[in-house]
Amino acid sequence: MSISSLPTGAARPRRTERCKALRLTCWKVDRVRGRKLELEHFLNQHGVDICLLSETFSNPGQAFRLASYVCHRTDRLTAGGGTAILVRHGIAHHSVPVPGLTHLKAAAIQVILVGKPVKILAA
């Protein structure tokens, strides 16, 4: 999905504990550190609640923070790869372990939608 294909609009209001709808996007970012401002502008412009990032190229020692978002990430110890999930503050969620992966990195969260748990995974 290209950036231009998404509808424009103001940022969405903070979510309560139980959500009925979420706006999600995924982005193959290719080095998140150098594109932080672009990413932040995109998320705010389109009111994204949850963003799945791949190819973040983040190292375990690097901090990555965006205003209004909680970041869950998995970094590779070798060059390349890495995933992250950005969740807008105010959305009740928690991190979920993804066991048994040897050749793949993944981050996962769980949210409650219409009273039911939904797992969201970035790989």
The CATH number linked to 25 is 3.60.10.10
Would you tell me how many other CB atoms lie within 10 Å of the CB of residue 35?
15
Is 8 a domain residue? no
Shortest CA distance to 85 belongs to which of 58, 52, 116, 110? 52
Is 71 a domain residue? yes
| Residue 3 pLDDT greater than 70, yes or no | no
| 31-82 pLDDT, tens digit each | 777 778 888 899 999 999 999 988 888 777 777 788 899 998 887 777 667 8
Is 6 a domain residue? no
Is 52 a domain residue? yes
Is 3 a domain residue? no
pLDDT band at 20 (very low <50, low <70, confident <90, very high): low
Is 101 a domain residue? yes
pLDDT value of residue 28: 84
User: What domain range includes position 37?
Assistant: 15-122
Beta bridge partners of 94: 110
The domain total for the chain is 1
pLDDT value of residue 27: 85
